[in-house]
Amino acid sequence: MLIWQAIVMCVVSGLLLTGISLKLMQMLQLSSYRAGGIFAWLKRTKFDYAVRYFALAFFCFTSMFVYVMCFGKLEWYSLIGYLFFVILCLYFISSVRNEAKKTPLKFTKRIVRLLVVDFILNSGMAFVLIWLLKDTTLIYSLLGISPLLCLITLLLAHYILLPIEKLIGRSFVVKASKKLNKSSPIVIGITGSYGKTTAKNVLSRFLMTKYKVFASPGSYNTPMGLSKCINEEYKGEQVFIAEMGARYPGDITYLKKVFKPQYAVLTAIGNQHLETFKTKENIIKEKTAILDGVKFAVANGDCADVVDNVNGRAVLCGKVGDATYSDVKTSLLGTDFVLTIGENKVDIHTRLVGDHVPVTIAMCALMAYKLGVDLDDIKETAEKLPFVEHRLEVLNSGDIIILDDSYNSNPTGADNALRILDTYEGKKIVITPGFVELGADAEKCLKELGQKITSVCDYAFLLGPNAETIKSGMGDYEKVFIVGSLNEAMECLKEIEPPMAVLFENDLPDNY
C-alpha cells in the first residue's frame, strides 16, 4: 500500500471513528464530564447503544472480511472493500444525528479540544493497523472491529485532557471569585434537593424592590456555570443570588469556598441524586453544609429532614416558625394565603401554584425582610411573580390547560403537581417518564407514582425506561398507554376530546 493511500485511510478512519463517538461525548457532557456517567447511561438504557456499536462492528468486520477474502489478491480491488467500512460508519453517524434530542451535544471549547485529541488517537490507531501491519485480511479484520474501541479512545482522550481542563476551569473560577471580591456584593446561596430555581426567582423579585440584583440565570448551579455567568454577565450588582447544586459529596463545600455566601436558603432535603450520593445521610450532610458560617439562613420548616438537621443554624419557615403561612387556598388559578412575620400579617395572592408555593414565599419573604424589604412591597411583588419556566407553569388555551412541570424530577414535586391537577373538573391527563437518580428507592417511588396517577387521572401516557415499573403500580387501571416518545404521546392527545388539563411531569434529558 502506498504511503499516501495509508495516510488518507488513517485520516478518514479517524474522522469516522470520532464521528461515531459523538453520542458518547454527549453523555459525557451531560454527566458533567464524569466518566462514570457514560457507564450509568449505558446501564440505564439497558446497553442499547452498546448493542448498536457491536452491530456496527459486526457488519463492518463481516462485509470487509468477506470482500477481502474474495478480492484480497487484487491490489486495487482490495481497497474497494474499505468503502463498506466508510458507508456503514456514515450510516451509523447519520442515524444517531437524526434522533430527536432534548439536550444535544454543545460544541464548547472543551468539546472541541476533546474532538481533536480523540481524532488523533483514532487516526493513530488506524495508522498502526493500516501501515504497520502488512496482511490485508488482518488489517481489514481489525479495522472492522475498531468501533468497539471508541469508548476506550474517548475515555483516554478525556483523561489526557483532564489536567488541562482542571487548570482552565480553575482559571475561570479564580477570575469569577476576584470579580465578586472586587464588587463585594451581598451573596446569597440557595440549595436543596428541589425548589432551588423557584426560590431563586422569587427571592430575586422581592429584593429587586430595594437592590440591584444579579441571579444566576436558568439552572446554572455548578462552579463552572456560576463562574461563566459571573465573568460574562455580572456587572457589579449589589446582590448576587447563586443557585448551588450538588450531585456528589463536597460540591456545596467547594461552591461555598469559591463564592462565599453570607446568607443561605435551604429549600428541602429529599432523595434526589441518591444514585450519586449513595446514602440519605450524605445528602443531608451536603445540603445542610450551606448553613455553616453564614450571617443568616432560612430553611423549609415543612420538611422533616430539614427540621431534624439544621440544629439551630437556620431560621425555620412554614406552618410554624419565624415566617408562617395559613389559610391556604390553591388551584390552577393561583395560590392565596396569609403570611405572618413576627407581629405582621399580610394577605398574599400569586399566580404560582403548588403546595411548595407558600413555604417558598415565606422563606424568601423572611430573607428579603431581613435585608430591609418592606412587607407591602413583598405583597405587591408576589401578585406579579411570573411562572418559573417548566416548573408547574400553567398555560391556558381555552378548553385545554397545560400544567408544565417538565423540569421536576422528584416524588414530592410530582405528588404536588397531581394534587393541583386534581382541582380541575374536566378530563385529567398525565404524561411522564417518572424519576431518576433515586438509587434503591427508585422502584418503590415509581410504583407509588403509578398508584397516585390512578387516583387522579383519566388517562396516563408513560414513556422511557421506567414506564413498565410505573404501570406495575397501577393495578387494573385501564387508561394507561406506554408510548415510545413525547411526540407519540402528543399525537395520542389529539384523539381525546377537550376540555382537558394535561400535566407534563418531568422530561428526562438524553442520558436517561
- 26: phi then psi, degrees, rounded to nearest 5: -60, -45
Strand spans (E) along 375-512 = 393-396, 400-405, 427-432, 459-462, 480-482, 500-505
What pLDDT score was predicted for residue 512?
43
Q: What is the pTM of this model?
A: 0.74
CA count, 13 A, side-chain hemisphere, 344? 13
Mean pLDDT of 280-294: 92
Q: Answer whether 367's CB lies under 8 Å from 203's CB.
A: yes
CB neighbour class for 160 (10 Å; exposed up to 12, middle 13-18, buried from 19): middle
What pLDDT score was predicted for residue 76?
54
What pLDDT score was predicted for residue 409?
67
Q: Which of 110-114, 300-304, 409-413, 441-445 has the lowest mean pLDDT?
A: 409-413
pLDDT band of 435, cuts 50, 70, 90: confident
- Measured CA to CA, the distance from residue 398 to residue 405 in angstroms comes to 19
Angle at 33 between CA 28 and CA 39, to 5 degrees: 50
3 state SS of 402 = strand
3 state SS of 318 = strand
Mean pLDDT of 465-477: 88
- Measured CA to CA, the distance from residue 457 to residue 443 in angstroms comes to 21
Is the predicted pLDDT of residue 227 greater than 70, yes or no?
Answer: yes
Mean pLDDT of 255-279: 86
What average pLDDT does the structure give for the chain? 88
What pLDDT score was predicted for residue 122?
94
In the chain, what is the straight-line distance between the N-terminal and C-terminal CA atoms, in Å? 45
- Measured CA to CA, the distance from residue 248 to residue 422 in angstroms comes to 36
At residue 424, what is the residue type? Answer: Y
Mean pLDDT of 400-414: 81
Mean pLDDT of 19-39: 90
Q: Which of 202-211, 257-266, 348-357 has the lowest mean pLDDT?
A: 348-357
Cis peptide before 498, with omega less than 30 degrees from 0?
no
Q: What is the dihedral of CA 429, 431, 434, 435, to 10 degrees?
A: -110
The DSSP element (H or E) to which 433 belongs, if any, is: none
- Measured CA to CA, the distance from residue 505 to residue 72 in angstroms comes to 57
Is the predicted pLDDT of residue 14 greater than 60, yes or no?
Answer: yes
Is the predicted pLDDT of residue 68 greater than 90, yes or no?
Answer: no
- Measured CA to CA, the distance from residue 198 to residue 211 in angstroms comes to 19
Closest of 483, 501, 268 to residue 404, by C-alpha:
501
Look at 493 and 264; give whichever has higher pLDDT. Answer: 264
Is the predicted pLDDT of residue 509 greater than 60, yes or no?
Answer: no
Q: Are strands 393-396 and 400-405 parallel, antiparallel or unpaired?
A: antiparallel
- Measured CA to CA, the distance from residue 216 to residue 199 in angstroms comes to 12
**Percent of the chain at pLDDT above 90?**
51
- Which residues, in sequence order, are CB contacts of 163 under 8 Å at separation 6+? none
The cell numbers describing 37, all together, are 456517567
CA count, 13 A, side-chain hemisphere, 256? 20
Q: b/e map of 38-70 (b: 16 or more CB within 10 Å)?
A: bebbbebbeeebeebbeebbebbbebbbebbee
pLDDT band of 332, cuts 50, 70, 90: confident
CB neighbour class for 108 (10 Å; exposed up to 12, middle 13-18, buried from 19): exposed
- Measured CA to CA, the distance from residue 404 to residue 506 in angstroms comes to 9
- Measured CA to CA, the distance from residue 493 to residue 483 in angstroms comes to 12
3 state SS of 354 = coil
